[in-house]
Amino acid sequence: MLVIKLALRNIIGAGLRTWLNVIVLSLAFVLIIWTQGFIQGMQEYSKRALIEAEVGGGQFWRPDYDQYDPLTLEDSHAPLSPALKDLVESGNAMPVLITMATIYPEGRAMPALLKGIDPAQKTVNIPAGGLAKENDGEIPGLIGTRMAKTTGLREGDFVTVRWRDTAGTFDAADIRIVKVVATDMPTIDQGQIWIPLENLRTMMNAAGEATIVVIDQEAAVIPNAGDSWIFRDQEYMLREIVEMIKSKMVGTMFMYALLMFMALIAIFDTQVLSIWRRRKEMGTMMALGMMRSKIVALFTLEGALHGFLAVVVGAIYGLPLFLLSKKHGFPMPEIVDEWGFAIPQKLFPSYGAVLLLGTALLVLVSVTLVSYMPSAKISRLKPTDALRGKMT
């Protein structure tokens, strides 16, 4: 108890020096939590958006299908297995047929993916309902805002599309853009045109076939579709999002290390200066019978109290900042569209108990260790040397 009282008296008596160290350390504490909260919010949003718009409860793929290799599309479609057909008919799954195509907006030739989707589907949140409207024999198409920006297409425009059917025969037709939708998901937007599934099956001469089958999130059972279909669960589908966001964290980790280094250097220098200036005080305490271990504990505790005060001060001005950012979000620049995963126009952070308590513990442990390093030299100090103002 005596050590605690002495430590409190000493850091309060240090006045401005103590509060400068506390403020610097609290800034590091608050900035780490604030930026990490936005990164966690980004990861949670990206996962949720990908699940709702594309992944669902998982997907069945044809063995030859590679989502990053359009050349595999020619051989990666087939009729649904009986188990998958039953799942689709019960409304617990959605087939998607995909093929390569060339489109000619404004006379230019551009590669694109034609994707067939059931306009009545409820499995993912792609707004395909507009594809079900009567169009007098026209082929209705849906594109995203990124695709519209790239091609210059708008609602009501026609675009010529050329594709190859299952027999290898090239054919062409005009698609009328009936809807341009804004989505945060570049994976269902860039370079893609969505049309009714039965239209694409007819165009490709691929009745009843699909490339992938998206399972509803509420599906109770994932059937065995046989060797002709491979199931990809959510963890498999989301792995690249997780890795991509981890790569974006490298820069922030450097910033965390720099902030903590600056704050801990200030604490270290303060401890070294304090030990140097209080040599005679330490000698007096040892001469009066105080054990060296308690003197080491005293100086270590003084440093640790800087970390405790930094957490308290950081909470005073940090909590309002966290609450405001969680309520109003943070506008994201347009350049984030190039990152390749779902980012909203306004990002909201996620502050969990693990983040808050973990960061506070990191600050306290780091400050305690840095405070102990110069204090450990006291264990080798002789009382007579300390009383004469020497350090041995």
Backbone φ and ψ for 46, nearest 5 degrees, come out as -60, -45
Tokens matching residue 125: 């949140």
Predicted TM-score of the model (pTM): 0.73
pLDDT in tens, the chain (392 residues): 666 676 666 667 666 777 887 888 888 888 888 888 888 888 888 888 888 888 888 999 988 888 888 888 888 899 998 889 988 888 889 999 999 999 999 878 999 999 999 988 888 888 887 787 666 678 999 998 889 888 999 998 999 999 998 888 899 999 999 989 887 777 788 889 999 999 999 999 999 999 999 999 888 788 887 778 999 988 888 887 777 777 766 767 777 777 777 777 777 777 676 666 666 666 666 666 667 677 777 777 877 888 888 889 988 998 898 888 888 877 766 655 555 556 666 778 888 888 888 888 888 888 888 877 776 666 566 665 555 555 55
DSSP alpha helices (H): ranges in 90-159?
A: 145-151
**Residue of 37, 36, 39, 32 whose CA lies nearest to 263:** 32
In sequence order, the 6+-apart residues with CB closer than 8 A to the CB of 335 are none
Backbone φ and ψ for 172, nearest 5 degrees, come out as -145, 155
Tokens matching residue 218: 């509420």
8 A C-beta contact, residue 341 and residue 244: yes
CA–CA distance, 78 with 268 (Å, rounded to integer)? 68
CA–CA distance, 71 with 46 (Å, rounded to integer)? 27
Burial class (CB in 10 A: 0-12, 13-18, 19+), 323: exposed
**pLDDT value for 384:** 59
Q: Report strand pairing: 170-181 vs 139-144.
A: parallel
